[in-house]
Amino acid sequence: MRFPKRGAALLAGVLGLGACYAAADAAELVPGVISFQNSVSPTPPPVSLAPTTLREDLPSITEEGPSPNPATAAASLDKLQKQVEAHKGELGVLVVNRETGEVIVKNNENTPYIPASTTKLFTSSAAISLLKPEERLKTYTALEANNLYLKSEGDLMLAPEQGNQNEAMGYAGLGDLAKKTAEKLKSHPGTFQLNVDDTAIAGPERNPIWKTQDVQGYVGNTTDMAVHQGRPNPARARNFSQTAQNDAAKEFQKQLEKYGVKTNSDIKYAPIPPKATPLAEVESATNRTLLRYAEKNSDNTLMEEFCRRLAPALKVEPNYATTAVGVVKYLGEQGVDTKNVTLHDCSGLDINNRVTAASLVSLIKHDLEEARTQPLIGMLPVAAWDGTLKNRFEKPEGRGRIRAKTGSLPGVSSMAGIIRTKTGHELIFSVLVNKFEPGSVYQVRADIDDFLTALSEQ
């Protein structure tokens, strides 16, 4: 879908919450490459947690030792509570034994807090349930007379030239599509009118709240196609173009010229006629692979795109708030505890989102129990190993024992996932810290890590 033309699409700077978000990135709390710390050099995680298979399920529980001691865990929670209070923060926690359902520790587990990117756990659960995991998004061309049509089913990860099927980002390439298209057009000399069919992804491309909350530069458009999500640098989730679809069309036009196909300088928008002749296509990585990328990297753009693609299955209007509400409703119908859960988006950027520690634990428990959602657990970052946890858990005891989704916004630090203790038990946990004072993000993060490490030692 097209985005209205604007004079200056990119913000010259990021102020207010956006500046705080950048500070959170510097603390390795949000996706990005700004860093003031050396990365941790972990030993490889235990084989049981290493991402070695397609499904990446956690193994079945083995009885290697006694169950975690609630009294010992309570002492660790008490320490965390005091640390959070010292930074003027509020704490919600729930830890349960996956095998028995026993509550190990809890604190304000039913109180709603801002979740930040742990919101993505809700999105991914609905996405893998309602979309086909092995489905790929096609980007293709068609011809009618001298009208050449370009259409994508929602691939925001396109490479400008050749695709790389070893990577989720840039799996399919516009250069490859142009080359295939040029081959088909050899028997059709002349100059063509390039038309973009943008009817695949309905609804607005930008969420108005992003501008209000000064996070415009941290998320790309929700649209039909983009080159590297509209990132100037594909390795940096920053400064996204707000005309990403048109940029992709111009890149395709450039690639066509490279392979000898002439087009009019202007690009028009029109749906592909029913009788148009198909020419060529390229395909994205699978939904499963894209979800794994989004979970590991806490990718805001992909999660919003997944949610928009869910709109028809959820039977809701295709926009940010309605799809988020639809996700919560759907998961509630699947048995997830959604009491006191209110979502306004699917990425977690909106500071008006609210979840509880109990709801996150219930969601993870659901994902572990359902065959279709089990692979999600293996997609989560591993402590001190990869994704948004790569530079977390400095104490060696916790490394490789924890898979979790992180979340960060100004005054917010959250984490939810699963711990495999050294005695062979699995604990489902959620930690939500809100309202801590500015400048304490490093310490709050370290305190959460230490708490979870202590649990892993039981």
- 106 forms beta bridges with 94
Please say whether the beta carbons of 248 and 226 come within 8 A: yes
pLDDT tens figures, 238-264: 999 999 999 999 999 999 999 999 999
Count of positions (residues) in the chain:
458
Instruction: Examine the pLDDT at 37 and tell me if it is beyond 80.
Output: no
pLDDT tens figures, 228-237: 999 999 999 9
For the chain, where do the domains classified as CATH 3.50.80.20 start and end? 136-290
Q: 108: which 2 tokens?
A: 């304000």
Task: Please report, rounded to a whole number, the percentage of residues in the chain having pLDDT higher than 90.
Answer: 82
pLDDT for 394 equals 85
How far is residue 206 from each of residues 119, 294, 415, measured CA to CA in Å? 18, 19, 27
pLDDT tens figures, 282-333: 999 999 999 999 999 999 999 999 999 999 999 999 999 999 999 999 999 9
Q: In the CATH hierarchy, which top-level class contains the domain 136-290?
A: alpha beta
Phi, psi of 418 (to 5 degrees): -140, 140
Instruction: Examine the pLDDT at 144 and tell me if it is beyond 50.
Output: yes
Residue with tokens 């320490």: 79
Separation between Cα atoms, residue 349 and residue 381, nearest integer Å = 19
For the chain, where do the domains classified as CATH 3.40.710.10 start and end? 44-131+296-456
How far is residue 254 from each of residues 146, 234, 311, 439, measured CA to CA in Å? 18, 19, 33, 47
pLDDT tens figures, 165-218: 999 999 999 999 999 999 999 999 899 999 999 999 999 999 999 999 988 889
DSSP state of 354: B
CATH 3.40.710.10 fits 44-131+296-456, yes or no: yes
pLDDT tens figures, 386-430: 999 999 998 888 899 999 999 999 999 999 999 999 888 999 999
Q: 322: which 2 tokens?
A: 């309605």
pLDDT tens figures, 60-117: 444 557 788 899 999 999 999 999 999 999 999 999 999 999 999 999 999 999 999 9
